[in-house]
Structure 1
């Protein structure tokens, strides 16, 4: 696959997949809305990095972050809200909570698994962020939780009706461009990232014990 510099620049900005479906889900709050599940990097992270062992470079729970909307700062890499926050508002949902936030364990309206600094590749900022495949494992754990409280049929309906939002790839390319020692050409690297991204979209993860 031939990839031009302009193609690389486009992918560097944002690689995003949005799947929209409609319908009704189940039980209690679940029968009044469609859930939103968010995966990605700092463009979507609502504060998951507040709850992992990382470095200050990958946390933003201090001013001026959040100064235009949140008090105190939420851990978002922004002075205000992020794209998923506006999507939730448009859908008349509350802000979708960070999955790792210990104060929220029901996730009635969905969950946000994004981690600032993460990439499609497990190697991207490994050890200080939550990589994309771990996002999917977290999602599998949450699906198991839904299945337990809703039953198989209603859980399947909830996940079928849900909205899934992804933002990934930018950090992978940033590291590639700053690494002068790699033996890969940029076309090969783009193919590797896109291949891994496709695998992420297709995989059905197994819950972590």
Structure 2
């Protein structure tokens, strides 16, 4: 279920956006920590720690070996961390060599916003849906602060309490909710009808994270999953349904509808929580542009 994001140029653009989004403030763009929620687009080792190790050729371009990412190099979340001067995020589920002092990554490959009524072994969708990730975050916060109060020896590996209100909260999830509809044999129209409920569940999690201190939210929309090879291979289309780039128009239409409603959802969150900062990032346009102008943009790594 893992999506494949075109990382190299996307990362440069998103890192630039991260700097621009804070330009209105007189203070520099600095965050002491990042807490990430998502799917394979930002999984830095969660699924590998929970189930099977990610195998080669993943990791070969940058790390020289598999590094928990379903990618041959770095993910966008890696570039974001680098841009704000932080180390790469450790997966919350990874118990070996973890340092959470600068944040934690709750993303796992195959994750969805809504819970799936299937097992990982049946469909490949992660059991760690977005609400489960938010529960992990809540437990991480409470247990880390308890460790501080007890003065345990490993407290320097955990973030202090003030970091939770100063941190950047990144979300890159939703694509698998859309593809799961097709896996369940829904029609395109039926998949579209699930979008309001998906976004209601997303809003519930944002409210929960806000209640736990989150104030700076960085939200990616979903990419053009109609361009993904596994989608085109699994769901053959009629010739009129394939666009000039070779992507599945019905699938991308669903992604665009989801993104339009997500954008509206973010606008509503801004009104509901005026003390928070919400940045909506248009990943779809960047990815589709790179795909449709592949020769002009040169070689990019598929991740």
Q: TM-score under structure 2 normalisation?
A: 0.51
- Could you say which residue in structure 2 is the equivalent of 1:73? 66
Give deviations 1:133-171, integer Å, cap 9, x for gaps: 1111111121013322446xx955211100000011100
Q: How does 1:95-174 map to 2 (within 5 A)?
A: 95-123=88-116, 126-127=119-120, 129=126, 130-150=128-148, 155-174=160-179
Counting matched residue pairs gives: 174
Q: Which of 185, 188, 193 is 2:193 aligned to?
A: 188
Distance in 1 between the 2:40 and 2:170 partners? 13
Deviation at 1:188, TM superposition (A): 2.1
Is the CA contact 1:49–1:115 (under 8 Å) kept in the aligned structure 2?
A: yes
Is the CA contact 1:22–1:34 (under 8 Å) kept in the aligned structure 2?
A: no
Is the CA contact 2:90–2:99 (under 8 Å) kept in the aligned structure 1?
A: no
- Higher Rg of the two aligned structures: 2
Distance in 1 between the 2:99 and 2:183 partners? 41
Deviation at 1:177, TM superposition (A): 2.5
SS in 2 for 1:185: helix
Whichever structure has more helix as a proportion of its residues is 2
Is the CA contact 1:88–1:96 (under 8 Å) kept in the aligned structure 2?
A: yes
What do you get for the CA RMSD once the two structures are aligned? 3.1
Gap change, CA 1:115 and 1:22, over 3 Å in 2:
farther
Choose 64-73 or 141-150, whichever is displaced more. Answer: 141-150
SS in 2 for 1:111: strand
Is the CA contact 2:35–2:103 (under 8 Å) kept in the aligned structure 1?
A: yes
Q: TM-score under structure 1 normalisation?
A: 0.72
Distance in 2 between the 1:68 and 1:195 partners? 38
Distance in 2 between the 1:75 and 1:171 partners? 19
Q: Structure 1: any 5+ residue segments left out of the alignment?
A: 1-17, 24-31
> Relative contact order: is structure 1 or structure 2 higher (C-alpha 8 Å, sep ≥ 6)?
1
Q: Structure 2: any 5+ residue segments left out of the alignment?
A: 1-17, 150-158, 213-303
- Could you say which residue in structure 2 is the equivalent of 1:93? 86
Is the CA contact 1:22–1:161 (under 8 Å) kept in the aligned structure 2?
A: no
Is the CA contact 1:118–1:124 (under 8 Å) kept in the aligned structure 2?
A: no
Distance in 1 between the 2:76 and 2:110 partners? 17
SS in 2 for 1:176: helix
Gap change, CA 1:82 and 1:181, over 3 Å in 2:
closer
Gap change, CA 1:146 and 1:192, over 3 Å in 2:
same
Deviation at 1:22, TM superposition (A): 10
